[in-house]
Structure formats: structure tokens, C-alpha cells
């Protein structure tokens, strides 16, 4: 050992510390890590001795709190444990080969697909990913036909009696040209999804995007006229860019040049939020599908679920 070099941190001590911080109880933390309460109490004494700092404060009634040093340690401990676990998985795991098929809605693809693919390529470099970028209604049909292993869909389009997990939600905003004033016209010119989508699944009696917009306007008593329809986000935005109409998109979408979000004080009714689900095929290709699903959770789990 080099003289003066600090003693290294034991990952078992850190794992118990994280459990205590998250459970806010030595008793529950002990059960979580499979040790006795006295054992993890001794572990925390050792940890604080190595650090030369108190990190846990015991309150009345057995409550547990972290001081400022403890909160700092918690964040860094989680990072270190995640890195440790990733190294162990990589060194011990049998390489996964094959192909996995992912379906993702067009409105999510530009921002999130690169992050999903990048993370998955590191976890399973020998697996080929076939990606289908399309409208949720089309992806629903492909999932039902066993042409996808994993699909991300807008809520309301999922097949009946099909297990699904919510992964993300977003508010929806009106979009207009930044050089035209179509959002102030009456009746309001719309670029919108078609009412009768050719891929609409039997589970839905309308195009969700179309119905959402029309209901919001009618409930607000706002007149409108449809000047352009498109089954894709890009097609709807093109009409707005040309100054012909207003359209709508997810609040966090990166807008093309020449477009802006309509402010809340500019007279258009609020649109409801949009939720997205993740669904696996009935007989997915494993273990690649589960690995890809875990990566999707990692990507969307790091995003605020509701826009401000």
C-alpha cells in the first residue's frame, strides 16, 4: 500500500448503505440485503470509519435520515454499484446472438431511438436490431401478426388483453409557423391525421390523434377547417411550415426550422397528454427482447414523466 493512500470502499458496505437510505429503516434494509440488523449496523460503523465521516443520522422511533455527506455518498454509491454490476455482467455473461425486432412510433424515434440503440449495442453487441418506425396503429398490427418482438405504442391502441407497461407520457402542444398567423384565424386551419386511418386496429374506433384535436376544439367552441391530412408527423408539420395550417406534436419534439409552439395565451384550447406503452410479442425472441426492454426502461426512466 502506498503511504497516505485512502482505504478503498467495499461494495458490500455501499450496497447496504444504499438499502438503508432507500428503505429508511435498518430492519427493512437488513431483510433486503439478506443480513441481520446488527450485521448491517456494524457495516455502517465500518463504512463511516473508512470515510472518516458520519453519513447516517438515526432519529426517533427508529427513523433513518442522511446528512449532507450521506446524500452525496448515496449518489456516488449508486454510480459505483451500477458500474460494478455492469462489469460483472459483462465478464460473466454468455454473449447473446441473433436478431430482435423493435417497433417505435415516428414521433419518438428522432429523439429516443439513437439512445436506445446505443445502449443496447453495448449490452448486446452481437445482436442485430431490426427497427420499424411507423404510426402506433401500424405497429399494433405488426405486433399482433408476430412481426415485432417489442413495440412502443401510444396508449389506446394496444391490443385487448395484452400485457403492457407505461414507459412515458408527454403533454401535446399546438404548432404554428413562426412567420405566419394561422393560429389566429377563425375558422382555424388544421393539418391533422386522417379520421379514417387505413391501419387503425379493431380495438380503436377512431384515429386517436385526429379525435383528440377535434374534441378539444369542439369542446372549446372553436371553429375549424381541415386543409391537410397526413398519417405522419412530418407530413402534418410540412403544411404548418408552409404557413397553411396549425398542427400538433409532443411537447418535447425538436421542431423543424420555421415552426414554434403556440403559447397558452394565444387562444387555442389545451390538448390532453399522451401516454406511451411498451409491449412484448406473445413469443418474443429471448433473451434479446428482455435486454432491449431493459434498455428502453433505462432511456425513458431517465426522462421526467411529465413536462412542465
Q: Specify the 3-state DSSP secondary structure of 149.
A: coil
Cell of 190: 388544421
Is the predicted pLDDT of residue 4 greater than 60, yes or no? Answer: no
Question: Which is it for the CA torsion 255, 259, 265, 269, positive or negative?
Answer: negative
b/e per residue 248-267 (b: at least 16 CB within 10 A): bbbbebeeeeebebbeeeee
Q: Is residue 223's pLDDT more than 50?
A: yes
- Residue 59 located in a structural domain: yes
Number of domains in the chain: 3
Q: pLDDT at residue 264 above 80?
A: yes
Q: Are residues 105 and 75 in the same domain?
A: no
Q: What pLDDT is attached to residue 6?
A: 56
Smallest CA-to-CA distance from 278 within 268, 292, 266, 267 is with 292
Q: What is the mean pLDDT of residues 83-95?
A: 76
Do 57 and 78 belong together in one domain?
A: yes
Q: In the prediction, which pLDDT does 142 show? A: 94
Domain final position from 92, 119, 137: 92
Same-domain status, 82 and 102:
no
Arithmetic mean of pLDDT, 173-199: 85
248 and 263 housed in the same domain = yes
C-alpha count within 13 angstroms, C-beta hemisphere, residue 52? 3
Is the pLDDT reported for residue 236 higher than 90?
no
173-182 per-position pLDDT tens digit? 999 988 888 8
Residue 1 lies in a domain: no
As given in the structure block, the three cell numbers for residue 247 are 398542427
Res. 16: pLDDT tops 80: yes
Q: Is residue 307 part of a domain?
A: no
Range of the domain at 27: 11-92
CATH number, position 285: 3.40.190.10
pLDDT for residue 7: 64
CATH number of the CATH domain containing 62 = 1.10.10.10
Same domain, 152 and 285: yes
Strand partners for 133: 104
Query: Residues, the chain, total?
Result: 308
63 vs 205 pLDDT, higher one: 63
Residue listed under C-alpha cell 429508511: 24
**Each residue's pLDDT tens digit, 62-81:** 778 999 999 999 999 999 98
- Percent of all residues in the chain with a pLDDT value above 90, rounded to a whole number: 41
Q: Between 53 and 198, whose confidence is greater?
A: 53
Residues 77, 16 within the same domain:
yes
What per-residue confidence (pLDDT) applies to 198? 64
> 200 and 247 share a domain?
yes
Q: Choose one of 74, 92, 110: the last residue of a domain.
A: 92
Same domain, 238 and 107: no
Q: How far apart are CA 88 and CA 201, in angstroms?
A: 44
Q: Are 184 and 263 in the same domain?
A: yes
For residues 132 and 117, give the distance between their C-alpha atoms in angstroms, rounded to a whole number. Answer: 13
Q: What is the mean pLDDT of the chain?
A: 86
**What per-residue confidence (pLDDT) applies to 194?**
84
Whether 24 and 83 map to the same domain: the answer is yes
131 alpha-carbon distance from chain centroid? 17
> What is the average per-residue pLDDT within 279-283?
93
- Residue 24 belongs to some domain of the structure: yes
* Region of poorest pLDDT, from 102-111, 207-216, 248-257, 291-300: 248-257
CB-neighbour burial class of residue 119 (10 A; exposed 0-12, middle 13-18, buried 19+): middle
261 and 281 fall within a common domain: no
pLDDT of residue 305: 36
| pLDDT per residue as tens digits for the range 159-171 | 888 888 888 888 8
Amino acid at each position: 500500500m502506498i503511504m497516505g493512500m485512502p482505504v478503498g470502499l467495499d461494495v458490500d458496505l455501499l450496497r447496504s448503505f444504499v438499502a438503508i437510505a432507500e428503505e429508511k429503516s435498518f430492519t427493512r434494509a437488513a431483510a433486503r440485503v439478506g443480513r441481520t440488523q446488527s450485521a448491517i449496523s456494524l457495516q455502517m460503523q465500518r463504512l463511516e470509519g473508512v470515510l472518516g465521516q458520519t453519513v447516517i443520522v438515526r432519529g426517533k422511533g427508529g427513523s433513518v435520515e442522511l446528512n449532507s455527506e450521506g446524500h452525496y455518498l448515496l449518489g456516488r454509491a449508486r454510480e459505483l454499484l451500477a458500474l460494478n454490476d455492469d462489469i460483472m455482467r459483462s465478464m460473466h455473461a454468455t454473449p447473446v446472438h441473433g436478431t430482435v425486432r423493435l417497433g417505435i412510433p415516428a414521433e419518438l424515434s428522432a429523439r429516443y431511438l439513437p439512445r436506445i440503440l446505443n445502449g443496447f449495442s453495448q449490452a448486446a453487441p452481437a445482436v442485430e436490431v431490426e427497427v420499424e418506425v411507423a404510426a402506433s396503429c401500424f405497429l399494433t398490427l405488426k405486433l399482433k401478426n408476430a412481426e415485432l418482438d417489442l413495440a412502443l405504442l401510444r396508449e389506446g391502441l394496444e391490443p385487448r388483453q395484452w400485457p403492457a407497461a407505461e414507459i412515458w407520457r408527454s403533454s401535446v402542444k399546438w404548432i404554428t409557423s413562426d412567420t405566419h398567423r394561422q393560429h389566429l384565424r377563425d375558422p382555424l386551419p388544421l393539418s391533422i391525421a386522417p379520421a379514417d386511418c387505413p391501419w387503425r386496429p379493431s380495438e380503436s374506433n377512431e384515429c386517436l390523434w385526429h379525435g383528440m384535436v377535434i374534441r378539444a376544439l369542439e369542446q372549446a367552441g372553436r371553429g375549424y377547417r381541415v386543409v391537410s391530412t397526413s398519417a405522419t408527423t412530418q407530413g402534418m408539420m410540412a403544411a404548418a411550415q408552409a404557413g397553411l395550417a396549425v398542427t400538433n406534436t409532443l411537447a418535447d419534439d425538436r421542431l423543424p426550422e420555421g415552426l414554434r409552439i403556440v403559447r397558452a395565451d394565444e387562444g387555442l384550447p389545451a390538448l390532453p397528454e399522451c401516454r406511451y406503452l411498451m409491449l412484448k410479442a406473445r413469443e418474443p425472441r429471448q433473451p434479446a427482447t428482455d435486454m432491449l426492454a431493459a434498455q428502453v426502461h433505462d432511456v425513458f426512466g431517465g426522462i421526467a414523466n411529465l413536462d412542465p
